[in-house]
Amino acid sequence: MFYIGIDGGGGSTRFALIDEKREILGHLTLEKGINYHLYGVESVYETINEGVEKLLGKAKVDLKDVKGIGASVSGVDSSRPKDVEIFKNIFLRISNFEKMSISNDAIGALWGATEDGNGIIVINGTGALIYGKNNEQIERFSGWGYLLDDEGGGYWVATEGVKKILHFRDGLISKPSFYEDVLNYFGIEDPSSFVYVYYQEFSKRRIAGAAKIIIEAASNGDEIAKDIVEKGLRWCSRGVKVLAQKLNMIDKPIITYGGGLFKSGYYREVFEKILKEEFSDFELLEPKHDAAVGAALMVLNSR
């Protein structure tokens, strides 16, 4: 028997196929999102159906031999019955699967990273979110969106950098080394034009993309950028400690990570350094698999 895992973000959807021995048999990515709040239920069904057909076609597996399907999706949570019902109905339109699991994207990433779903994961991409699981207990920290927190995530890092540029423009601080690179990234010549970037041409994802410039500057020794990166990761480290206490994992928590910002080796190193200030002992685990495989493992291990 086989199991399908789906990792759905806002702009793309990844599929994975595994067997009962956890062997990965196939991967597929579609450049279409499956957040039903953004795209609607019918569009989500069409994307998932297309992905399942193509995934199974590549692996030469018959749909009737697929025992379970799991989805780890942004904008969805297993604690909200409506979300679960919508995705179950979508899955049943594709096949009468024996097992189905639906969760937010952090849980799938945690399953993929650890292979057993237990531990604490920090996901810093456009936003920031921390999830922890210890057997049946699941806890969450942060991830309330860019208007409320998401400290340490891409949008937050980039915006903190923009603020420092404006502070320089107003004569409060010395010129950051990332000044020209950030202005060039946004295609503007003067910091006053940030009002257009944030108030007239707003794109959270576009703004978050400038975070890599701040992180690169920090890795090259810019003190202003270093302060931004460290401030965000200290907040994340505090969140990890809160969840470790709630999950009774404080002695030696398993900590892992996901999201685009962690692609930076410097960013990972700073995170580990700050964790050492919070914990006398911990395991920082490099993710073993992606969230699509995680979603497949999640449903394989579901009751």
Please give the structure tokens belonging to residue 160: 């903190």
Query: What region, left, alpha or beta, does residue 75 occupy, with left being phi > 0 and alpha being psi -120 to 50 degrees?
Result: left
What is d(CA 286, CA 257) in angstroms, rounded to the nearest whole number?
Answer: 7
What is d(CA 294, CA 111) in angstroms, rounded to the nearest whole number?
Answer: 4
pLDDT of residue 96: 95
Residue 77, pLDDT > 80, answer: no
Residue count of the chain, please give it. 303
pLDDT band at 10 (very low <50, low <70, confident <90, very high): low
Strand stretches in the chain, DSSP E = 2-8, 13-19, 24-30, 66-73, 99-104, 119-124, 128-134, 137-141, 254-258, 283-284
Query: What region, left, alpha or beta, does residue 248 occupy, with left being phi > 0 and alpha being psi -120 to 50 degrees?
Result: left
Q: Domain map of the chain by residue range?
A: 2-115+288-300, 154-284
pLDDT band at 12 (very low <50, low <70, confident <90, very high): confident
What is d(CA 82, CA 119) in angstroms, rounded to the nearest whole number?
Answer: 27
pLDDT band at 35 (very low <50, low <70, confident <90, very high): confident
What is d(CA 190, CA 164) in angstroms, rounded to the nearest whole number?
Answer: 14
Closest CA to 34 of 297, 295, 261: 295
Please give the structure tokens belonging to residue 183: 């202005």
Chain segment 289-298, per-residue pLDDT in tens: 999 999 999 9
Chain segment 125-171, per-residue pLDDT in tens: 888 999 999 998 999 999 888 899 899 999 999 999 999 999 999 99
State mean pLDDT over 84-90.
95
Please state whether beta strands 24-30 and 2-8 pair in parallel, antiparallel, or not at all (unpaired): unpaired
pLDDT of residue 21: 95
Residue 280, pLDDT > 90, answer: yes
pLDDT of residue 19: 97
Q: How many C-beta neighbours within 10 Å does residue 265 have? A: 9
**Mean predicted lDDT score pLDDT of the chain:** 94
- CATH level 3 topology of 154-284: Nucleotidyltransferase; domain 5 (3.30.420)
- Please answer whether residues 150 and 205 qualify as being in contact, where contact means their C-beta atoms are separated by less than 8 angstroms: no
- CATH level 3 topology of 2-115+288-300: Nucleotidyltransferase; domain 5 (3.30.420)
Helical H segments across 200-302, by residue range = 204-208, 211-219, 223-246, 265-278, 291-300
What is d(CA 84, CA 57) in angstroms, rounded to the nearest whole number?
Answer: 27
What is d(CA 99, CA 69) in angstroms, rounded to the nearest whole number?
Answer: 7
SS3 state at 40 = coil
Please give the structure tokens belonging to residue 267: 């960013």
pLDDT band at 76 (very low <50, low <70, confident <90, very high): confident
Residue 42, pLDDT > 70, answer: yes
Chain segment 217-241, per-residue pLDDT in tens: 999 999 999 999 999 999 999 999 9
DSSP output for 183-204: HHHHT-SSGGGHHHHHHTS--H
Please give the structure tokens belonging to residue 194: 């940030």
State mean pLDDT over 203-221.
96
Dihedral angle computed from the Cα positions of residues 77, 80, 84 and 90, in that order, rounded to the nearest 10 degrees:
-90
Amino acid at 250: I
Judged on CB neighbours under 10 Å (0-12, 13-18, 19+), 271 is buried
Amino acid at 31: E
pLDDT band at 37 (very low <50, low <70, confident <90, very high): confident
Which of 39-43, 73-77, 158-162 shows the lowest per-residue confidence on average (mean pLDDT)? 73-77
**What is the pTM for the complete model shown?**
0.89
Closest CA to 159 of 193, 201, 208: 208
pLDDT band at 182 (very low <50, low <70, confident <90, very high): very high
